[in-house]
Amino acid sequence: MNKRQIGFYNEHEAEMHLEKNGYRIIEKNFYCKSGEIDIIAENDGYLCFIEVKFRENSEKGFPEEAVDYRKAKRITRSALFYMAKHGFPEDYPCRFDVVSILGGKISVIKNAFEAVI
């Protein structure tokens, strides 16, 4: 498998895991000038912007560690654009989650980071 196929496979696995755990997927691979959001979903009354990160092993760190300040800022800007484009009010409850896939084990980190503007 090439990188794109691996990414597609892992995002699909993450999506299935999220749905099994009560998330309702709204959109996948949302692109805008600010960046990309892997998955947008609804969960427990929150609009969730979800980043999927994958590693085969922890040699180069854990997947969630790849969501640094710069990445969080890009996701936040993209989320704000998405909300404005789709008519969500600024005070609509939302959160930023990370799906971490390490060697096939999936974990969801709710509220992985605060909005970075």
pLDDT for residue 1 is more than 90: no
How many domains does the chain contain in total?
1
Percent of the chain with pLDDT over 70: 100
Q: Domain span at residue 16? A: 3-113
**What local confidence, expressed as pLDDT, does residue 37 receive?**
96
- Contact status, residue 94 vs residue 47, Cβ threshold 8 Å: yes
pLDDT for residue 3 is more than 90: no
- Contact status, residue 67 vs residue 96, Cβ threshold 8 Å: no
pLDDT for residue 2 is more than 90: no
- Residues 106 and 108: their CA atoms lie apart, in Å, by 7
CATH number for the domain harbouring residue 103:
3.40.1350.10
pLDDT for residue 97 is more than 90: yes
